[in-house]
């Protein structure tokens, strides 16, 4: 099936769905109506591209015929043909990207985990800086971010912090942040002005629902205890904190931000399901990478993905050899250029693989 046939098939399906969604029998079935509406919405961008491509392809055929016929219109036809031959390849590439298999987690909210790595106090401080960076990036996109659990370092920053981010395309944009982030700068405590190198690990996990991960009650151990840290008197004087242990995998989640034990348990279970789903995703990625010898994507948590060099005002993403000399803006949440470059790199690899 060539490209035009595939596009016509998508257009026919779109028209069929549009007709179904006006059928009273479908409208009366809420689940079916929602399912068909979602399928139609997923085709919106492809349909727009298909209509533009097919129209321009038809215009190109007509211009070629006029050019062959010669006469007064040949000059205009040649000019139009030049424009169309420049526009159609880009449209075709956009269509091929849209036809790539969709990430099953693309529409999901995410959980963000940031952990201080090598570098002691400086790593903990940079973990706090990264949380601030992602909070600003979330605000730029209209996403909602909420800290679920945090372990503070003595001199500021975090040993570990977990947050949820809710909003359209949050996972699609943020999935590239998983990995080891390296910072090079002079710590505020360094009297000699010597540059220190520290690392922070970031994990981005698509939020899991009960349908994604089934957890048996017999596989859980749940403990309650008195919350500590920056919780205020009401939190610290009640047994509101919850520790959930998934016994088969020895996965431990602690949540103590809420005054209510019930709310903390609900949050902890949400994080637990997400971590179990993430472990399965990581295993699948590793198996797939082993089969094709070259991993497409950025899910390897041990990979050093980016360096933030403060003395040189430079940020470098090592996966695509991209260096920007505007670190201050990046730390203020201006990640879009990096994210778009990573997306283009992923699409290029996927297109080459599909070919």
pLDDT in tens, 262-314: 888 888 888 888 888 888 777 766 665 554 444 333 344 567 999 999 999 99
CB atoms within 10 A of CB 280: 12
Measured between alpha carbons, how far is 179 from 285 in angstroms, rounded to an integer? 14
Give the rounded percent of residues in the chain with a pLDDT score beyond 70.
Answer: 89
pLDDT in tens, 103-114: 777 778 899 999
pLDDT of residue 290: 54
What is the pLDDT averaged over residues 93-104?
Answer: 83
Tell me which of 17 and 300 has the higher pLDDT.
Answer: 17
Residues near 105 by Cβ (< 8 Å), separated by ≥ 6? 171, 175, 206, 281
Element (H, E) at 38: helix 30-69
Choose which CATH entry (3.20.20.70, 3.40.50.920, 3.30.160.20, 1.10.390.10) describes domain 217-279.
3.30.160.20
Does the pLDDT of residue 8 top 60, yes or no?
Answer: yes
Does the pLDDT of residue 231 top 50, yes or no?
Answer: no
What is the pLDDT averaged over residues 344-353?
Answer: 85
- Dig out the tokens for 332 from the structure: 């203020």
Measured between alpha carbons, how far is 288 from 101 in angstroms, rounded to an integer? 15
Specify the pTM. Answer: 0.69
pLDDT of residue 218: 87
Give the rounded percent of residues in the chain with a pLDDT score beyond 90.
Answer: 44
pLDDT of residue 189: 67
CATH class for the region spanning 110-208+296-354: alpha beta
Range of 76-80, 168-172, 231-235, 321-325 with top mean pLDDT: 321-325
Three-state secondary structure call for residue 246 = strand
Our separate counts of H helices and E strands in the chain read: 10, 11
Q: Do domains 110-208+296-354 and 217-279 have the same CATH topology?
A: no
Question: Would you list the domain boundaries of the chain?
Answer: 3-99, 110-208+296-354, 217-279
Name the phi and psi angles at 56, rounded to 5: -70, -35
Banded pLDDT at 242 (limits 50, 70, 90):
confident
Measured between alpha carbons, how far is 297 from 350 in angstroms, rounded to an integer? 9
Banded pLDDT at 174 (limits 50, 70, 90):
very high
Name the phi and psi angles at 84, rounded to 5: -65, -40
**CA angle at 194 for the pair 132 and 117, rounded to the nearest 5°:** 45
């Amino acid at each position: 099936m060539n490209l035009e046939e595939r596009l016509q098939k998508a257009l026919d399906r779109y028209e069929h769905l549009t007709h179904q969604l006006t059928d009273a029998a479908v409208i009366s079935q809420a689940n079916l109506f929602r399912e068909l509406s979602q399928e139609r919405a997923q085709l919106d961008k492809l349909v727009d591209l298909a209509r533009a491509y097919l129209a321009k392809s038809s215009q190109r055929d007509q211009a070629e015929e006029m050019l062959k016929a010669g006469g007064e219109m040949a000059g205009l036809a040649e000019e139009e043909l030049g424009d169309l031959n420049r526009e159609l390849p880009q449209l075709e590439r956009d269509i091929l990207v849209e036809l790539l298999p969709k990430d099953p987690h693309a529409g999901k909210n995410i959980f963000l985990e940031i952990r201080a790595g090598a570098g002691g106090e400086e790593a903990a401080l940079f973990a706090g800086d990264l949380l601030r960076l992602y909070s600003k990036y979330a605000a730029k996109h209209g996403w909602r971010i909420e800290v679920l659990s945090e372990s503070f370092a003595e001199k500021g920053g975090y040993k570990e912090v977990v947050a949820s981010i809710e909003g359209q395309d949050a996972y699609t944009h943020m999935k590239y942040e998983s990995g080891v982030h390296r910072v090079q700068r002079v710590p505020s405590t360094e009297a000699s002005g010597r540059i220190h190198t520290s690392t922070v690990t970031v994990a981005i996990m698509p939020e899991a629902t009960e349908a994604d991960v089934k957890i048996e009650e017999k596989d859980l151990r749940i403990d309650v205890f008195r919350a500590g840290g920056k919780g205020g008197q009401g939190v610290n004087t009640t047994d509101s904190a919850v520790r959930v242990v998934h016994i088969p995998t020895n996965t431990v989640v602690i949540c103590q931000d809420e005054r209510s034990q019930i709310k903390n348990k609900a949050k902890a279970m949400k994080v637990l399901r997400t971590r179990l789903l993430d472990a399965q995703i990581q295993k699948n990625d590793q198996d797939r990478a082993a089969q094709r010898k070259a991993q497409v994507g950025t899910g390897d948590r041990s990979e050093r993905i980016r360096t933030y060099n403060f003395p040189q005002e430079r940020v470098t993403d090592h996966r695509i050899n991209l260096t920007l000399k505007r670190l201050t803006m990046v730390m203020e949440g201006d990640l879009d250029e990096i994210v778009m470059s990573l997306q283009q790199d992923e699409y290029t690899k996927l297109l080459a693989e599909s070919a």
